[in-house]
Amino acid sequence: MVQATAQKSPEEPDVNVIISGLIERGRAAMEAYENHDQARIDDAVTALAWSIYKPERARELAELAVEDTGLGNVPSKVTKNTRKIFGTLRDLSRVKSTGIIEQLPEKGLVKYGKPVGVVAAVCPSTNPAATPVNKAMMALKGGNAVIIGPSPAGLATTARTVEHMRSELKKSGHPEDLVQVLPAPVSKALTQALMEACDLVVVTGSQNNVKRAYSSGTVAIGVGAGNVPVIIDSTADLDDAAAKICASKIFDNSTSCSSENSLVILDDIYEAAIAALERAGGYRSTGAEKTKIVDTLWVDGHLNRHVIAKDADIFADVAGLADEAKSSKFFIVEDDGIGPDHPLSDEKLSLVLTVYRAKDFAEAKDKVRQILEFKGIGHSLGIHTANSDHARELAEELDVVRVIVNQAHTFANGGSFDNGLNFTLSMGCGTWAGNSISENLNYRNFINITHLVTTIPEDKPSEEELFGGYWAKFGK
């Protein structure tokens, strides 16, 4: 039973009635969905992928997203609507998710995949098309139905995206109600009621939504805040690092949680690295311009929605930067402070890249730790280096789920064709960030597993085998 979450006036729709109807249609669709048949499931998943990957739709939804939200840029969103979905389809096409998904005869175990139920997929305004499709593909791979909870700012784009997904499902002979979307007007009360009524909540976006999901009483998966710091050490190929940082930073005007927000550069290559970043398209701001950038980006302690995720020339014009800045690709702002009194150490959702100087690798590592502890703990960090020991040291010592080595962070962090991470638009950040997963969101998060257990030859070691080493060291 859905519990009312807010008082309503007589003319307002009853959120409980709306949500109950959506849930009932989702359950009916699951009953009709051939979710015991892996081939039919894979047809449905492919239908969802094609609904956005189809070239004219990828562009239509990219254009609508920019118009709808005012965030990012069309070419990047076209890439996001195709590359991410293509990669996700690759991953999902290679795995079993229903019936027998794994057999371990040596352990006497057979594992069966089964649906979790009706999934609520709460999605952000930064990715109002790609994220709903990405989550829907994973949900349907598990044999589930999904109800999309869009950001109000991205509602028009998400609603159109869901129309396309439903159309492709119908074409391939699947129930359209496997994918539904909250109706307008989307409100906190409506989204909250959905989270309380479904079987699993998966939230990408604001940390407020993540917290509400975890307190909804429903099993929830939320993701943490990004604020990616990246080290350039003394052994890095500076032009290669700068080119990758630029490509990553400017992608979709830095709307991604995996976009570089800070660089920490070692002292002995600092000026050479800055020069490489300038060659790649960066503009090194002056001290006076730094003040203008801060005053433009933050209003009353909050990011200024009128300038975040905007093209470089627009931001430079609003901030009053030099004409040279207007033709650059991103803005280099040098700083030495970290924490609440230093906003440039926070996530910026803009083409502003904060740069710190470190005397050696130990200090660089400490600065990265401070940045993450201020904002972004658990999410990810990067390093450009030829010293694999440095990369391993970061992985061993810092509390993040992903350490990205010599890669364009935005493209690598959510899965890539040249690394082993699965494709996703939702990055779990572990208990460090209050998340229930410490991996990229994937199909396994959308299935329950039944274990068939049979006997095997007894596997019981002797007391000596288990305690002998301890006894030898410390006595009985």
Distance separating alpha carbons of residues 199 and 222, to the nearest angstrom: 14
| Spacing of C-alpha 306 from chain mean position | 23
Closest to 63 measured CA to CA, from 156, 186, 162, 164: 156
Token pair, residue 178, equals 């496997």
Token pair, residue 91, equals 């991953």
List, in sequence order, every beta strand (DSSP E) within 5-72: none
Rounding to the nearest 10 degrees, give the CA dihedral for residues 33, 39, 43, 44: 30
Closest to 235 measured CA to CA, from 359, 388, 363, 365: 388
Distance separating alpha carbons of residues 37 and 23, to the nearest angstrom: 23
φ, ψ of residue 222 to 5 degrees: the values are -125, 165
Residues with Cβ within 8 Å of 165's Cβ and at least 6 positions away in sequence, in order, are: 47, 48, 51, 52, 132, 133, 136, 179
Single out the catalytic residue among 123, 198, 246, 257: 257
Pairing of strands 109-115, 99-104: antiparallel
Closest to 375 measured CA to CA, from 401, 350, 338: 338
DSSP assignment letter at 401: E
The half-sphere exposure of 406 on its side-chain side, counting CA atoms within 13 A, is: 14
Q: Contact 234/216 with Cβ under 8 angstroms? A: no
φ, ψ of residue 230 to 5 degrees: the values are -135, 135
Residues with Cβ within 8 Å of 194's Cβ and at least 6 positions away in sequence, in order, are: 19, 22, 120, 147, 149, 182
Q: Quick one: how many helices (H) and strands (E) in the chain?
A: 18, 17
The DSSP string of 137-198 is HHHHHTT-EEEEE--GGGHHHHHHHHHHHHHHHHHTT--GGGEEEPPSSP-HHHHHHHHHHS
Distance separating alpha carbons of residues 474 and 22, to the nearest angstrom: 63
Q: Contact 258/414 with Cβ under 8 angstroms? A: yes
246 is catalytic: no
Residues recognised as catalytic: 257
